[in-house]
Structure 1
């Protein structure tokens, strides 16, 4: 039923915004007046029974109306609006059908993504066809938008409640609007390879228990955006952090458990941890694409250094904590007093050395893949990683636990590493 209701969004490209608004009005009226009976039971979210009102359906339709207004009154492509609505509706249908046969979480998530991607591709293609859009996106771009939206929707549905579908609709619609404006240039073979590579790495992280399902989805989405908007060199830098950082979590895991400093969930990192370490890198990728498309005045290469600085920080911080935590008693970075293992802001010389090596690994990979980095740029990336690692320890010793959580500290540390790298590059450019 929800999939059928989502299909009604095609009234906008087929007949225009006014008939589309009328259809939405009829659905809203019906959702308001139906308070019991079989139809109510069919459409009700669990919380709707408390008030005998289909608030879940009402808010879902209102979220669709909000996107529809953006598509008709703003510059959001109508194809993005249609693709988003169908994506959520049919993705949910596919997931529920699989749920009848298996409780396997990966199977349900995979089916949601496949059904959602297929529905979004069909919806965008039909919209371009019936509106005779001369600037219609090519099929590879349509697939890229559909797959990105499906991954984000699956991620949000994993960390939120099923009744939060309105949030999913708005979030997916805004992301796809942004990606459509960037007009990525990608071919059929390129999008096929990008999806295969990122999904393979994502599933490997889950199979090796270095990421939860939410962490896997986050990693695949970040990887796909990085490949398409940046390139495989950017992806190689990103995946080096996920691979080495994930394996470092397993380093002497029993010893970490005994000390009480081991990551929860057997070391599998969730979406919060992945985003805390990679959100700045994603922003740098988007900045690079926007700059390359002419939306930002800065040189695109500056965002490459910001990206490398943030990844160097994430790698340094992860290795310093995961490797340093199993050695001798750490000392608080602000006072150098001995503290218990796992204390926020506690450092060891072994951990600091591991962090420097981690920054060096990122700098080496970046230097090898991007000729524009140069030897001086590689040194700057190492320095930025050390700066970010130190900021992480300082924030841990002063603000973590009282004002900031662990993921916020990770975000601010990677941001400091990115800014340090970009500012150092600008400074050297002005001097030279």
Structure 2
């Protein structure tokens, strides 16, 4: 057994001690946490030190990794105590979410290290983390509910699976982006996400969770295999898709997957020509986390806002968030098609002065690219009309609503070109411009909805 596997197993053993909370309460957990803190602070050599020490710990001759891990466990655990939260408007972190989060991290890490013994590469490591973390989180949440209530209601199991899957995808993404020593950041990030989702999704159905996990994993693997997304980009897309399906619905996912699918194909369209011109996406067109979030962060916020409005955590008409979601993705697809198709044609012009510029110049447009962008926004509008309520009966998008989605996409595409010609490079990067453009598309869609419908 390798040192990395033994160390991950030791951290998993420490993390498993959180199960004393539902079994025996905080009073039993406090001495264990204190003992771990003392050991981490004062054990400087010997077998115990070698078991827990990471490479950086050996240089400093202190178990800082274990110390930070125990402190993060304690800090997140304090949020399960109602008296810590001084405002009655914020519910305490559910104990089952806390336990599930901790076990997800430690057993996800352990399974990741086991997989790395046989298969190299970030894809294998992330797969091991997701599989181990998902199983451990579902088991930990279920055990906690059973220990505290004496039963495990069958209707709560889909919600536990949804939380575990969301946490596993986020954890794998952060592990791929960060360093091993950043377990504390991963723990808090996953814990806070699951805390939010536990409030936004009080009831989850089996079919939604099954569709979300199976469909998104399959599509994520295809995107990675076809090299349209990096491992990090794949994980980001999977997480966004799962949240969209469960919190929004299949209609929402139809718009999201249209952007991902058509956008990926547009990126690969005549890639060699764009590469020769120096205007192709880096990494052979494989989009990473920054690119995905730059185009879809507003859509994600819209899904979360819709869920909050649906459960009356926000006193806002939930339909606003649907149009913000559709408008932002219409912009994202319109802009992607405009830039990827327009890049293969000659004589681009700067949108602010209409002067001819070199291909690839920020803010440059071609009439072919503009037509492609309009076609993308039109497609989004038509799909929105078709799936709401055709696929998703919770909402209705009329032909006028579809026109709003088209308008928002074209407006957002234009904003992207204007920002590219004026502030891109000097003030913000490409991903920042993408975010601002999709935000403008969402604003245009909501404003038009308020004024017209």
TM-score (norm 1): 0.96
* Structure 2 contact 381–405 (Cα < 8 Å) conserved: yes
Aligned-partner SS, 1:327: coil
Which has the larger displacement, 19-28 or 253-262?
Answer: 19-28
Match of 1:46 among 50, 55, 78: 55
Match of 1:385 in 2: 409
Match of 1:124 in 2: 141
Match of 2:424 in 1: 400
For the residues of structure 1 that align with 2:239 and 2:303, how far apart are their CA atoms? 13
What's the offset of the Cα at 1:305? Answer: 0.6
For the residues of structure 1 that align with 2:421 and 2:31, how far apart are their CA atoms? 57
For the residues of structure 1 that align with 2:93 and 2:252, how far apart are their CA atoms? 28
For the residues of structure 2 that align with 1:421 and 1:188, how far apart are their CA atoms? 33
Q: Does 1:189 align with 2:207?
A: yes
Alignment map for 1:12-411 (pairs within 5 Å): 12-72=21-81, 73-74=84-85, 75-132=92-149, 138-371=156-389, 372-411=396-435
What's the offset of the Cα at 1:207? Answer: 1.1
What's the offset of the Cα at 1:364? Answer: 0.7
Match of 2:5 in 1: none
* Structure 1 contact 184–229 (Cα < 8 Å) conserved: no
Deviation track 1:42-91 (CA, whole Å, cap 9, x = no partner) reads 22222223321121221122111111011113411011111111000000
Flag the 1:361–1:14 CA change in 2: closer, same or farther, 3 A: same
Q: Runs ≥4 in structure 1, deviation > 6 angstroms?
A: 133-137
Aligned-partner SS, 1:71: coil
Which has the larger displacement, 232-241 or 345-354?
Answer: 345-354
What's the offset of the Cα at 1:105? Answer: 3.2
What's the offset of the Cα at 1:347? Answer: 1.2
TM-score (norm 2): 0.92
* Structure 2 contact 146–152 (Cα < 8 Å) conserved: no
* Structure 1 contact 184–228 (Cα < 8 Å) conserved: no
Which has the larger displacement, 49-58 or 140-149?
Answer: 49-58
Which has the larger displacement, 128-137 or 108-117?
Answer: 128-137
Match of 1:415 in 2: 439
Which has the larger displacement, 417-426 or 333-342?
Answer: 333-342
Match of 2:3 in 1: none
Match of 2:19 in 1: 10
For the residues of structure 1 that align with 2:134 and 2:385, how far apart are their CA atoms? 36
* Structure 2 contact 201–307 (Cα < 8 Å) conserved: no
* Structure 1 contact 319–351 (Cα < 8 Å) conserved: yes
What's the offset of the Cα at 1:187? Answer: 2.3
* Structure 2 contact 381–406 (Cα < 8 Å) conserved: yes
CA-atom RMSD, angstroms? 1.5
What's the offset of the Cα at 1:412? Answer: 1.0
For the residues of structure 2 that align with 1:18 and 1:98, how far apart are their CA atoms? 37
For the residues of structure 2 that align with 1:391 and 1:215, how far apart are their CA atoms? 25
Flag the 1:189–1:376 CA change in 2: closer, same or farther, 3 A: closer
What's the offset of the Cα at 1:184? Answer: 4.3
For the residues of structure 1 that align with 2:138 and 2:194, how far apart are their CA atoms? 13
For the residues of structure 2 that align with 1:338 and 1:49, how far apart are their CA atoms? 59
Which has the larger displacement, 389-398 or 316-325?
Answer: 389-398
Q: Between Structure 1 and Structure 2, how many residues are aligned?
A: 429
What's the offset of the Cα at 1:386? Answer: 1.0
* Structure 2 contact 108–133 (Cα < 8 Å) conserved: yes
What's the offset of the Cα at 1:345? Answer: 1.2
What's the offset of the Cα at 1:15? Answer: 1.4
Deviation track 1:247-305 (CA, whole Å, cap 9, x = no partner) reads 00011101111111111111010111111111110111111111111111111111111
